[in-house]
């Protein structure tokens, strides 16, 4: 693995964000995956949130639970108690040929994770002196327009995470592929950082502009490989770039050369090592 050198460096190292936790090592979106990411030294955690039928925000990426659990059906059609009865981790064990080199708590490998519990972990970690951050991606059925954002902001307010502390960066940022979702967040909580995620770059945004309500660009790694000059256009327009999902050493090297501000990865430990960091800085 090559040793990447951060050119914009020691004062502002690239932030390493654990995508769905340390999801290369542990089942995605489980508490075990997030604890492993913290242990590995990730600067921030990333999660997706969906709304259950009874109004709870849970950390599940797909619209349906089929891929990541032993159940079936849409998250939006299931209540939290039904999700809690499912196994969200054993599929990962079947994919691994070797035992993990870490010691997870058994229940934390298989249980559905609520955003509330993840926020508790964030607050606990920060209270212990670790400046951990959380990037939350909103996902929702269009018929529930606004409900995910409303409940998300209500939960952040409960934890006093709905605005940055005086003189410091926000512990939480909101991400979405939906410009409308980010606009709702900005209307309700203008001090929360927002990230506009992109699978491709719309022609009207190729000059580095972002939709109203978005403060940070979130291009996929495929965009960065195909159009590396886009990062420079974003920077010239005054925007930061948080790139997903960056797992391969050559992609890490490219992100470093382009001066991106954050790397979102399934492999936080390996990326930190490649950047010459063994723990959070």
Verify whether residue 19 is a known catalytic residue: yes
24-77 pLDDT, tens digit per residue, is: 999 999 999 999 999 999 999 999 999 999 999 999 999 999 999 999 999 999
DSSP structure class, residue 244? B
Paired with 251 in beta bridges are none
Q: How far apart are the first and last CA of the chain?
A: 21
Q: Is the pLDDT of residue 80 over 80?
A: yes
Q: From the candidates 19, 29, 140, 242, give the one annotated as an active-site residue.
A: 19
Query: Is residue 144 very low, low, confident or very high in pLDDT (cuts 50, 70, 90)?
Result: confident
Could you tell me what percent of the chain has a pLDDT over 90?
85
Residues whose CB is less than 8 angstroms from the CB of residue 167 and which lie 6 or more positions away in sequence, other chains included: none
What does the pLDDT read at residue 279? 61
**How large a percentage of the chain has pLDDT more than 70?**
91
pLDDT at 44: 98
d(CA 86, CA 112): 7
Select which of 8, 12, 29, 61 is catalytic.
Answer: 61
Structure tokens at 97: 């040929």
pTM for this model (two decimals): 0.94
Instruction: Spell out the domains of the chain, with CATH numbers in brackets.
Output: 15-274 (3.20.20.190)
- Using one digit for the tens of pLDDT, what is the confidence trace for 224-277? 999 999 999 999 999 999 999 999 999 999 999 999 999 999 999 999 999 999
Q: Helix crossing, 147-158 with 115-127: angle to 10°?
A: 30
Residues in contact with 103: Cβ distance below 8 Å, sequence separation at least 6, in sequence order: none
Nearest to residue 21, comparing CAs of 244, 268, 255, 274? 268
Interval 191-211 mean pLDDT: 96
Q: In angstroms, what CA-CA distances link 71 with 66, 112, 142, 229?
A: 6, 12, 23, 44
Contact 84, 65 (CB under 8 A): no
Mean pLDDT, the chain, rounded, equals: 92
Question: Residue 78 pLDDT more than 80?
Answer: yes
Q: Residue 156 above 70 pLDDT?
A: yes
pLDDT the model gives residue 10: 37
Query: Where residue 4 falls among pLDDT bands split at 50, 70, 90?
Result: low
Distance of CA 142 to the CA centre of its chain: 21
Residue 104 has a pLDDT of 77
């Amino acid at each position: 693995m090559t040793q990447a050198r951060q050119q914009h460096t020691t004062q502002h190292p690239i932030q390493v964000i654990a995508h769905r936790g340390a999801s290369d090592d542990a089942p995605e979106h489980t508490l075990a995956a997030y604890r492993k990411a913290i242990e590995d030294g990730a600067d921030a955690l990333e999660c997706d949130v969906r709304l259950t039928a009874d109004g709870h925000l849970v950390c599940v990426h797909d619209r349906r639970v089929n891929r990541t659990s032993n159940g079936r059906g849409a998250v939006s059609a299931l209540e939290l108690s039904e999700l809690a009865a499912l196994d969200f981790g054993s599929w990962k064990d079947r994919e691994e040929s070797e035992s993990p080199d870490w010691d997870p708590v058994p229940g934390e490998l298989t249980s559905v994770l609520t955003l509330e519990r993840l926020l508790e972990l964030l607050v606990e970690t920060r209270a212990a002196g670790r400046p951990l951050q959380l990037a939350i991606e909103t996902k929702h059925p269009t018929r529930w327009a606004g409900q995910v954002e409303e409940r998300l902001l209500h939960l952040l307010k409960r934890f006093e995470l709905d605005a940055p502390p005086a003189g410091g960066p926000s512990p939480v940022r909101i991400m979405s592929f939906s410009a409308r979702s980010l606009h709702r967040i900005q209307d309700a909580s203008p001090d929360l950082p927002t990230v506009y995620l992109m699978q491709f770059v719309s022609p009207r945004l190729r000059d580095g502009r972002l939709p109203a309500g978005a403060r940070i660009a979130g291009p996929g790694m495929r965009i960065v490989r195909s159009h590396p000059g886009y990062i420079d256009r974003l920077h010239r327009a005054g925007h930061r770039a948080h790139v997903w999902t960056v797992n391969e050493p050559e992609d890490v090297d490219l992100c470093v050369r382009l001066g991106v501000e954050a790397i979102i990865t399934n492999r936080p430990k390996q990326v930190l090592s490649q950047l010459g960091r063994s723990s959070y800085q």
